[in-house]
Structure 1
Amino acid sequence: MDRSQTSESQHVDHNIIENARNNVEPMVIDMAVEENDNTEDEPVIVESTSLDLETYANCYTGLAKLQRLVFIADRCPQLRVEALRMAIQYVQTTYNVNLYTQLHRKMQEAVSGANAGNASLPDIAGGQVGGGVVATLPVLDMQWVESRAKKAALKLEKLDTDLKNSKVNSIKESIRRGHDDLGDHYLDCGDLSNALKCYSRARDYCTSFRHIINMCLNVIKVSIYLNNWSHVLSYVSKAQATPEVSESRAAAKSFLGAQLDACDFPDLLSTSNVAISFKLFLEVEPQLRDIIFKFYESKYAFCLKLLDELKDVLMLDMYLAPHLNTLYTRIRNRALIQYFSPYMSADLEKMATAFNTTISALEDELMALILDGQIQARIDSHNKILYAKAVEERSMTFERSLEMGREHIMRVKGLILRSALIKNQIHVKSPPREGGGGGGQGSGDVTMAATNSSASAPRN
């Protein structure tokens, strides 16, 4: 009887588990779908753009130039072939053999896709290609690949031998330079992980603050190429914490007084990428200057129109593109808030004209801002008027004061409890974890440890 009851109960439990698996709550599914909708995995394709590719590419050097050209080739069909051609020409000045073959593979795919779609492509070779344009297509040179790979291997062997000799002689400066040279060579070959390791190993052989700063800059550069932003922030903090350069106030004044001619760092960014709060940097991008001026002149329709015209070019920036839609939305929301801030009421028809949109679309935008708490107002949909809410500053001040009082009381109680624990020598010790046990058991052990220590703690 006991066995039959046990098997029957196990059968019932099995059915319950199966029903639970099949009957998934709809809220869980909805949340998963919403998360997938918020993540932009598919790249945005820019069909047409006014970007001068040659001028844009000349602003960069090294791997940054290659990464940006490949990004443009993946996002813009109009510039795909030209970007790949320029990338192939530039990669031949490096030891990056793998990227050279990958670029040729992308070029063949671009040409075959263009032939299938009967699209006219500039600078494509070898004969008639969509539209009858004749040009020279870069040919995959296997002799260059083999010779370049051999030269890279020989140079790597020489640098490795020099580093070993320096370690035998225990010369710190030579060892540091050896690690830097190895990192530079790996970076030139496109091996970013080994380059990062070599640059990081140079830290133990830095003998001055300049060496530490140089090491941090090298690691930051490779981490940016790898899109490892947490590593970037970590080494930025290490560079700022160097004792010889810890005068933050003087450093900030120096940054604000930076000259345009001294900004020469093309292997990461160009002058047009620097924060445009500096007037001289702003002169490099006259379109952005006009947009900012129109925004603060309250000419929002013209400002947003210029932003839309610039969007296709900005979508081809590999670091800015993933955040561009969010930035555009925030700029537009800021314009709506700034437009309404000095008024007690605003006509939605005039407001829609000022922002070059329809009244219904404007109502949706304003409703989102009101629900988000960015605008304290209410919408009269019948009369098409936006009214500002009368905020009682007196009551809000009292509420803030009471909230601050409650926070201070909680902090004081916490301090009193801590001082009482220290005074009575109560120590809470967590047991050592063995194989990652359950959380409930660990918390019980901590409580028992606290009780035992409070009961039998010796007094010195």
Structure 2
Amino acid sequence: MAPPAPDLQAFFEQMKAEGGIIVEELPKLDLELYIQNYEGRTRFDRLITIGKCCVPLCVEALKAAVHEAKRGDDVSRYKEACYSLRLAAPSEEESKLDEEWIKNKEVSNKRETARLESELRRYKNNLIKESIRMGHEDLGHHLEETGHLKEAAEAYSRMRHDVGTTKHIMDCAQRLISVALQRRDWTSVLSNVGKIGGTQGADDVKVMQPYTKIVQGIGQMGLGKYKEAAQSFLQADSGTPANTFNDIATPNDVAVYGGLLALATMDREDLQNRVLENLAFRSFLEHEPHVRKAISHFINGRYTACLSLLRDHEADYLLDIYLQKHVRHLFSQIRRKCIVQYFVPFSCVTLESLEQAFATDGKPIEPELISMIRDGSLNARINSESKLLVAVISDARLEMQQNALEMANRYTEEAKERLRRVNLISAGLAVQAPKTGGPDEAWFDTEEGPSAGAT
């Protein structure tokens, strides 16, 4: 691939300095087909992320982000996209701000905000709860569309005081989840998912189940709770029409999220039973067959093939708005699992064979093995002279003796505490609970000893 233009190179140096993730490889996704799968505000989020991270697709994605922003009402997003494009490719026509559009849109946004606030005040004066709820909802939706996410969350929160049905409660929670996802407020996401789960009736379970599980999984992944997130994605019901929640994630995304998280946190048996043999999740995996193949490779002990397949799609994963920050950590966990499982059948393995199976980019594997041994994930030692990784065989008899000694020590300490308690009570130094005649009545109600009723 040819080196990027000077402007583009300077742009990505700035993005890297700001802590951004830079992808220099050409991803497998087709940008136009990829973005067609989404709807709503997530389309812009994904385009601007690709534009700021992917060197080969930068200009194309930023130009698409400019057009997407002009289709909406959020002026700040349009300015952000134009500013980024102007840094990356100043000669592009889309990089020039449309001042007239900005002025007209800001005026119309202010006018619409004033109108909705006036209507809401009128509804409050009339004391009609349903109208007040709808007024808060309309105002919150307008504020969300114009990019005032904090104010939108406050407006949606005020809807709760006037909800009248279960559907209203769920609508309110969904609105708050939408804003929380955009603000990356994962705690709020999980909190509102809990509210939906606590209010839905039997008729709503089938419709809302995929939504709640997918959103819950995204929130848990955002907080680094990978095992819980994997379980949430694997429980999502694929029977709901695919385009129902495309403003959040597509079935392809669910397959990737669930598959990678499961690979990083589950053993062979769970991967087989809860992923590959999971009829509901299998429908998601059909959209991303490489994820299913990678899991099959791991289960069948083909670890090099599993890691190679994941590396081939790493660039695509690094461009996902929710998965991006977790890819490197998940890949590291999966790689460590592969090394541990590869070593399990052997008492010793040459470092050369491990290099052939797992070395990447010419980097030696020995420092990684040392790190795994130190943190306890690999029970082995390295023979530097013979260049061998030798398993540390545990002494079952020694372990049994140590467990017996620990149990005896715990028993001794517990017996001492019980005797100390008895002596305190006998000496009248313990504070007695008042007699209630109930089951909590103290055994010792006099200084002389147990009460008459005690046995």
TM-score when normalising by structure 1: 0.69
Question: What's the offset of the Cα at 1:200?
Answer: 0.8
Any conservation in 2 of the 1:348–1:359 contact (CA below 8 Å)? no
Structure 1 alignment gaps of length 5 or more:
1-39, 116-123, 126-136, 426-460
Question: What's the offset of the Cα at 1:162?
Answer: 2.5
Amino acid paired to 1:313: D
Q: Whole-Å Cα distance in 1 between the matches of residues 405 and 195 of structure 2?
A: 41
Partner of 2:131: 174
Partner of 1:235: 192
Question: What's the offset of the Cα at 1:281?
Answer: 1.0
Amino acid paired to 2:98: D
Select between 209-218 and 175-184 the one with higher mean Cα deviation.
Answer: 209-218
Question: What's the offset of the Cα at 1:201?
Answer: 0.8
Question: What's the offset of the Cα at 1:262?
Answer: 4.5
Matched, 1:94 2:72: yes
* Matches for 1:269-348 after TM superposition, within 5 Å: 269-274=249-254, 275-276=258-259, 277=275, 278-348=281-351
Deviations 1:265-312 (A, max 9, x none): 122222222124411111212222222222222222222222222122
Partner of 1:43: 20
Deviations 1:220-265 (A, max 9, x none): 22111111222223223333333757x99x9699945432634621
Amino acid paired to 1:307: L
Amino acid paired to 2:176: V
RMSD: 3.6
Any conservation in 1 of the 2:86–2:96 contact (CA below 8 Å)? no
Q: Whole-Å Cα distance in 2 between the matches of residues 339 and 216 of structure 1?
A: 46
Q: Whole-Å Cα distance in 2 between the matches of residues 359 and 53 of structure 1?
A: 32
Partner of 1:17: none
Matched, 1:107 2:85: yes
Partner of 1:261: 241
Any conservation in 2 of the 1:163–1:178 contact (CA below 8 Å)? yes
Distance 1:185 1:59, change over 3 A: same
Any conservation in 1 of the 2:83–2:95 contact (CA below 8 Å)? no
Q: How many residues align?
A: 365
Q: Whole-Å Cα distance in 1 between the matches of residues 313 and 361 of structure 2?
A: 22
Q: Whole-Å Cα distance in 1 between the matches of residues 248 and 289 of structure 2?
A: 22
Any conservation in 1 of the 2:140–2:152 contact (CA below 8 Å)? yes
* Matches for 1:11-410 after TM superposition, within 5 Å: 42-50=19-27, 51-112=29-90, 124-125=92-93, 137=94, 140-242=97-199, 244=201, 255-259=235-239, 261-262=241-242, 264-274=244-254, 275-276=258-259, 277=275, 278-356=281-359, 361-397=364-400, 399-400=402-403, 403=406
Identity %: 31
Amino acid paired to 2:73: Y
Q: Whole-Å Cα distance in 2 between the matches of residues 162 and 318 of structure 1?
A: 36
Partner of 2:4: none
Distance 1:407 1:318, change over 3 A: farther
Distance 1:101 1:350, change over 3 A: closer
Q: Whole-Å Cα distance in 2 between the matches of residues 216 and 422 of structure 1?
A: 49
Q: Whole-Å Cα distance in 2 between the matches of residues 280 and 185 of structure 1?
A: 36
TM-score when normalising by structure 2: 0.70
Deviations 1:19-71 (A, max 9, x none): xxxxxxxxxxxxxxxxxxxxx96223222322311122222222221122111
Q: Whole-Å Cα distance in 1 between the matches of residues 356 and 79 of structure 2?
A: 53
Any conservation in 1 of the 2:48–2:61 contact (CA below 8 Å)? yes
Provide the secondary structure at the position in 2 that maps to 1:261: coil
Question: What's the offset of the Cα at 1:195?
Answer: 0.6
Q: Whole-Å Cα distance in 2 between the matches of residues 142 and 317 of structure 1?
A: 31
Select between 194-203 and 373-382 the one with higher mean Cα deviation.
Answer: 373-382
Provide the secondary structure at the position in 1 that maps to 2:89: helix
Provide the secondary structure at the position in 1 that maps to 2:349: strand
Deviations 1:388-429 (A, max 9, x none): 22213344355456656767867995996999876268xxxx
Q: Whole-Å Cα distance in 1 between the matches of residues 193 and 80 of structure 2?
A: 33
Q: Whole-Å Cα distance in 2 between the matches of residues 76 and 161 of structure 1?
A: 45
Structure 2 alignment gaps of length 5 or more:
1-16, 214-231, 260-274, 276-280, 435-455
Question: What's the offset of the Cα at 1:84?
Answer: 1.6
Question: What's the offset of the Cα at 1:146?
Answer: 2.7
Amino acid paired to 2:161: D
Provide the secondary structure at the position in 1 that maps to 2:286: helix
Question: What's the offset of the Cα at 1:197?
Answer: 0.5
Q: Whole-Å Cα distance in 2 between the matches of residues 164 and 422 of structure 1?
A: 60
Provide the secondary structure at the position in 2 that maps to 1:318: coil
Provide the secondary structure at the position in 1 that maps to 2:57: helix
Question: What's the offset of the Cα at 1:330?
Answer: 1.0
Any conservation in 2 of the 1:63–1:267 contact (CA below 8 Å)? yes
Distance 1:97 1:384, change over 3 A: same
Provide the secondary structure at the position in 2 that maps to 1:45: coil
Provide the secondary structure at the position in 1 that maps to 2:313: helix
Amino acid paired to 2:72: T
Provide the secondary structure at the position in 2 that maps to 1:339: helix
Amino acid paired to 1:155: E
Amino acid paired to 1:329: S
Q: Whole-Å Cα distance in 1 between the matches of residues 317 and 128 of structure 2?
A: 48
Give the number of the structure whose alpha-carbon radius of gyration is greater: 1
Partner of 1:6: none
